Structure 1
Amino acid sequence: MAHFTDKVVVITGGAGAIGKVTAEEFLAKGAKVVIVDLAADQLDEVKEDLQSRGEIHTIQADVTNETDVEKYVRETVDRYGKIDVFFNNAGIEGKVAPITEQKAEDLDKVLAVNVRGIFLGLKHVLAVMKEQKYGTVINTSSVAGLHGSSGVTPYIASKHAVVGLTKATAVEFAPYNVRVNSVHPSPANTRMMRSLEGGMGTDEGTLSKTIPLGRYAESSDVANMVLFLADDKSDFLTGGQYLVDGGMGAL
């Protein structure tokens, strides 16, 4: 079992389903958790739900805005003195449509959150971890970051980009004892999946038929992988892509 007593964990997109469940798991194992999200109301709800579980701090920030990113990193370090784990998780799905019907601004919107947001988080958190000479980062990509799929080309492009950022920073920061990996969930039982199903005109749960284990990933499935990659027991793992996909990668 992973133990994170007194570890400081920062989670972006922390008010979403995967972020919240992951925060809950870290709190249960003794971590101090900083949740970052743009949605103030949802941040308040998550804090109310989880504050009895352990030490939790919330910061409203736009991950696409470098000033906001600098703010959440600085506020965390001022408050706790360090960042041990960074779950670089914020992301959006974008519009579901053929590429011929996607507008340039549709692409820009997805890339802003899913690539620029990941990049800026890495830039500023890794600077802290370099000084510390330790730390671990988990970037959220997707099975869509390793395979193709129709109707969501901006999303596919963005999640492939996360793989490149993961590999590049893993190599760059290995000399400082900092590890960087990415997680790749299958379609998950979250709000994002409901949005994608709606855009594709499919019934709820239909896409689970494309998964060998026959169900969507649950937020807890992703959280379990994140905690494994954050734990010292995985301290020889860096630059990797870790599937949480119910067997989709075997097809």
Structure 2
Amino acid sequence: MASEQHRKQLEERFAAKLGPEALHEGWSSLLRLDPEFFNASVSLASVPRQKSHLSRKDQALIGLAVDSAATHLYTPGIRTHVAAAIKEGATIHEVLEVIELSSTLGIHACNIGVPLLVEVLKEEGKYHDEITKPFDENQERLKQDFTEKRGYWHTFWEDFLRLDPEFFEAYLEFSSVPWVKNVPGGEAGGRGALSPKLKEFVYCAFDCASTHLYVPGLKLHMRNALGYGATPQEIVEVLEIATLLSIHTAHVAAPIIEELASGKKA
């Protein structure tokens, strides 16, 4: 175990690198139990802040997207990133928009499942008419509406729209909110609070996270981000921020280990 003086030095390094407000129970417990790993974790987490291809505010919003995604839901991180984003000047509309964008993750059940279902139906020789018929007038309207509101179209939406236009339309409404609403100080023309590029970074963040790893979406949103003017360095920084969720293993486990090792009741 490190001396009290050494732990104090490490805590000061943490504050200098990540900000004193980022020190939550998980970090503190890890510092007491394993100063070396604490220090290495600080080094890893601080790289994006040192390079800053993204602003501090945008980094916090990207971190929020990773931690609030349905596949992770890491509450201490959500609190830390919301606080950091607000400190860096983010509005409540910008913070909420990250939550809205991240809430679309669940549709990947359909993005993956529906094409697989169509593949199976073709292999089994069943429902051929349903899975090959051209779009009707309503489906063409929904495709155009999606393209206009979301700024792109991808072939993985084709089978979904063909098999269940009603659910597709409901998802279109749900997913388009951040792209069409008017907010004070937001994008011109009722395009939400965040820039299209940052919206695409949010999608990239939860798609690339190790709890999800949705490759088709990640490639699509990288392409979209580049189309909105993103640089490779900015996208790499999004990936680096998403990588930091691995540290949460220690953040969750360390307090439990410390509690049980000290003889306290679980």
Asked if these proteins are the same fold (TM beyond 0.5), I'd say: no
Query: Structure 1 or 2: larger strand share?
Result: 1
| Structure exhibiting the larger radius of gyration computed from Cα positions | 2
Query: Structure 1 or 2: larger helix share?
Result: 2
Select the structure with the greater relative contact order (CA < 8 A; seq sep ≥ 6): 2
Q: What TM-score do the two structures reach when normalised by structure 1?
A: 0.29
